Amino acid sequence: MTPIELIVSILSFTIIVNLLLRLSTRTSKPYPPGPRPWPIIGNLPHLGPTPHKSLAAMVPTYGPLIHLRLGSVHVNVAASANIAAQFLKTHDANFSSRPPNSGAKHMAYNYEDMVFAPYGPKWRMLRKICSVHLFSSKALDDFRYIRQEEVAVLTRALTRSGSNPVNLAQLLNVCTTNALARVMLGKRVFGNGDGSGGHQSDEFKEMVVEMMVLAGVFNIGDFVPSLEWLDLQGVAAKMKKLHKRFDEFLSKILEEHKVSGNDGRDGGKHLDLLSMLIGLKEDVDGEGGKLTDTNIKALLLDLFTAGTDTSSSTVEWALAELMRNPKLLAKAQYELDTVVGKDRLVTESDLPQLPFLQAIIKETFRLHPSTPLSLPRIATENCEISGYTITKDSTLLVNVYAIGRDPTVWTEPLEFKPKRFLPGSDKANIDIKGNDFEVIPFGAGRRICAGMSLGLRMVQFTTASLVHAFDWVLPDGQMIEKLNMDEAYGLTLQRAAPLVVHPHPRLSPELYST
């Protein structure tokens, strides 16, 4: 072999080896399908102003598992029950942590809360505290009287409106916030028990809504790190400003609680959460480390934001849908009159005997999930879903909104039809607590919403009470066929226009004064 032939042979061998090495290191399976990304910013322009709808609209083209590149970040979107189950059940352990994001950094005390904390000892400690002291069956039963008292306050406030229309969203928010505050802090935070919250409650709701809107923004700086310092959308600046307002609110609550001198018991009955957390500061020092004031404020922030507006908005959606469907409202009232009667108000113990009311709530969660796009998760290792490669460090989004409107699963998916969940129907046994993936308003798996049981009780009980106690009419000049059902997108699914209504009492007058 001549020198030239030897050189050519060596070069050929080197090229072949390099090709083989490159082929062996490439992923064995392709990425899921998705729209072609733009240079640098990737698929960010494809998300539009309502990402949950934009992503749902991609399913007929790309299928229920969609791959996006947002800036430099690979994002996988699950848009069917089957795909969601593979991520959140089969591979749940691999998707139990959160990706870095500006919302957690600037608003949630730099990942010191429970919602955005990395999966690990600190998160488990915070989760256990809430699960035992706030969301266990015993805790929910112990604080049942608070929920019933606050809904009774709401009922009286609605009765006092007389001939004046009421902003139902506003009153619902005061009710849910005070019910949660009495459990968390041992006292109401808004109003004097008359159902109105005044300027403070309006400001608080505005803060919560702003937080949900900002948390739902796809911030360019999260996906193109080199542009983070520019804050092109002004999102980070708004987050920092809002965090300061929340921190002042929470710091004041914490300091007042430390020096108040009371024993942290609401009505002398049960120890509130904040008093218990302050007491645990010196006791908890296990694998998760010590509980700090920052952890406590971050936990209160989670509970106040995730546990108030989500519940009140769901009740608002349910009432709006029933008003648009008078026959369904009449059927729900008939069930309540049969089970409860007209000589007393609904109690939580009545709920298991109200299958149609429960079907209404399930259908509301299906059509109007409080979190239309799940909070993001991150893959800790490579895995395979439906024959496609899901790479390490890629982000997972579950399109809860699209799953609830999947035409391959739901007949007439855009119609409000509670009967689909009634006994005898094919969806009667669907569980909305994360076991059946056709409806997952609270998520599923390890990072399922910690307050799911409380939220479900509050939504069911409040809706049942309002349907039972009142007939509902729109203000003069408004037609029910033209009721605004538009959505205002954020991390949570708000109504674009608050529900303003006339409540007409339908029970014995003395029930509204007790």
According to DSSP, the β-strands at 500-505 and 494-495 are unpaired
**H or E segment to which residue 437 belongs:** none
d(CA 351, CA 295): 35
Q: One-letter amino acid identity for 70?
A: L
Nearest residue to 372 via CA among 170, 173, 212: 212
Q: Is 449 annotated as a binding residue?
A: yes
Report the chain's C-alpha Rg in angstroms: 25
Contact partners, residue 198, CB within 8 Å, separation at least 6: 190, 191
Residue corresponding to tokens 């879903």: 385
Rounded to 5 degrees, φ, ψ at 227 are: -100, 0
d(CA 300, CA 119): 19
Residue corresponding to tokens 């708004």: 238
d(CA 220, CA 226): 10
* Tally of CB atoms within 10 A around 197: 24
Contact partners, residue 342, CB within 8 Å, separation at least 6: 506, 507, 508
According to DSSP, the β-strands at 395-398 and 73-78 are parallel
**H or E segment to which residue 147 belongs:** helix 144-159
Positions at the binding site: 449
Binding residues for heme: 449
